Chain A
């Protein structure tokens, strides 16, 4: 027991450093604010008229929500994806500037170092996702405290998985230069293929969906794990599921466990 307290302090220290740095990093915070504003205000409002009802009984997509409400959970996921995956920058920073060595000579076990960093990154990403909740009023979503709690829990699970993914990427990227590429090759494709900005209508059968969208797009959406994370958040925030409600949390937990394990294998090998 007495051995655990110093280890807990070490874990806390590593976590605290990540969080401390993030709240001082204006650039990152600006990104965390401008993304939801752009996506929700500009895109959401821009497309709102196209999803508007004109004749009672006739809408293109029969989803029981407005477009803004539909988009809202996806924007949370987008914000989390950016913050989590770009956490790799922090990992590379530590490596390049030698800070990692200073931690590695300390008595904190490597697994705990990794856990502390990932927990720190997940906390930041969850906070960035949580910031979007402030806009709920704008999207006309009323939330109870239990909904907020459950949503934050899901966000944290997703953040943990994606931050681990960022760490895995960092181990495979040698320099800072690869970074502009990250958002364009990983984050945005995953986001667009996650049923985030257009719905795969659940009232349509598989065959009807395939008639509406080309088969390959439906395929991409269905194999994308982010799809199920978005779906889980929609379930909590606007009580709307396109897929089996159990699938979302299962995928989120699966991602977290699998990516943390790979990150741990990588880190141990170093």
Chain B
């Protein structure tokens, strides 16, 4: 009787495994083909053209010393791609709710910035590159003892186009009096004098305030209040440009550039999550 030969099972699979590897490698290699000319065109002109509203603090300020979060991020992006940033200021953005009336076309800019909200509706028209910040209603809770029942809330609606009706309806339903603030400073003052137990405004407005170290900033919880991630808008179909910007953006996120810009505009950290409605309003 001969001794049984070892089963060379690994060798059996080898030809098949090689075939599969070759096929997978081929497909993977194909993903590096550029699917369109959008990046090529931007590179040829040497300019990254961006449509922005006149003012949308803290994203776009119009102040050359501190031009805004979106603008600074875009400047870095352009620099990393070896491009010059050209702003196309369009006063219609933000004033009119229907973006069709802004008359933004591909010829004017490759990117739309300054408060583009990442939602299904926006994605129907644009492809988006999230900027890492989000907006929504937030509340300032003064430092000190635990929150009692809230009697009065100071409210500054701000310019973000958040749903004011939902907020005022909610406050009324819960029997909370509303103290309308006219300027951001009014919010701080109302808290300091005790005229209001809590101050509510959009997240960006609150970010610009100089607050007591111990004051807590909380998101108004969803539901019923929604939070909106913000993004840069790119034209649908501009895959190569979006990919290049996304890669640069990822790199900025990794090396801390993004975080340092956010810190300068008070957008770092951000509000805390309130556990529920009860925690906020007692």
Contacts and interface: CB of A to CB of B under 8 A. Distances in A.
A55 B24 contact: no
A53 B121 CA distance: 14
Interface string B1-36: 000000000001101110110011011101101011
Nearest to B246: A140
Contact of A55 (B15, B16, B20, B103): B103
A211 interface: no
B127 A66 contact: yes
A134 interface: yes
B27 A134 contact: yes
A220 interface: no
Nearest to B105: A55
B15 to A, nearest CB: 6
A270 to B, nearest CB: 30
B95 interface: no
Interface string A48-63: 1101111111110011
B132 interface: no
Interface of B is mostly: helix
B106 A54 contact: yes
Nearest to B98: A57
Contacts of B103: 55
B237 A52 contact: yes
A44 interface: yes
A128 to B, nearest CB: 10
Contacts of B243: 140
A131 interface: yes
B216 interface: no
A57 B93 CA distance: 12
Interface of A is mostly: helix
Interface string A20-62: 1001101001101100110001001100110111111111001
A41 B30 CA distance: 8
Given A33-B27, A52-B235, A52-B236, A65 B35 contact: no
A125 interface: no
B49 interface: no
Q: On chain A, which size bracket covers the interface?
A: 35 or more
B99 interface: yes
A270 B88 CA distance: 74
B16 A134 contact: no
Contacts of B101: 57
A20 B12 CA distance: 9
A64 interface: yes
Contact of B100 (A24, A55, A68): A55
B28 A134 contact: yes
30 contacts: A23-B20, A26-B19, A30-B23, A33-B23, A33-B27, A37-B30, A45-B35, A48-B35, A48-B239, A52-B106, A52-B236, A52-B237, A53-B106, A53-B125, A53-B237, A55-B104, A55-B106, A56-B125, A56-B233, A57-B98, A57-B104, A59-B124, A62-B124, A63-B124, A64-B123, A64-B124, A66-B237, A66-B239, A68-B239, A137-B31
Given A49-B237, A56-B125, A66-B236, 8 more contacts: A30-B23, A41-B33, A54-B106, A59-B124, A64-B121, A68-B35, A134-B31, A140-B127
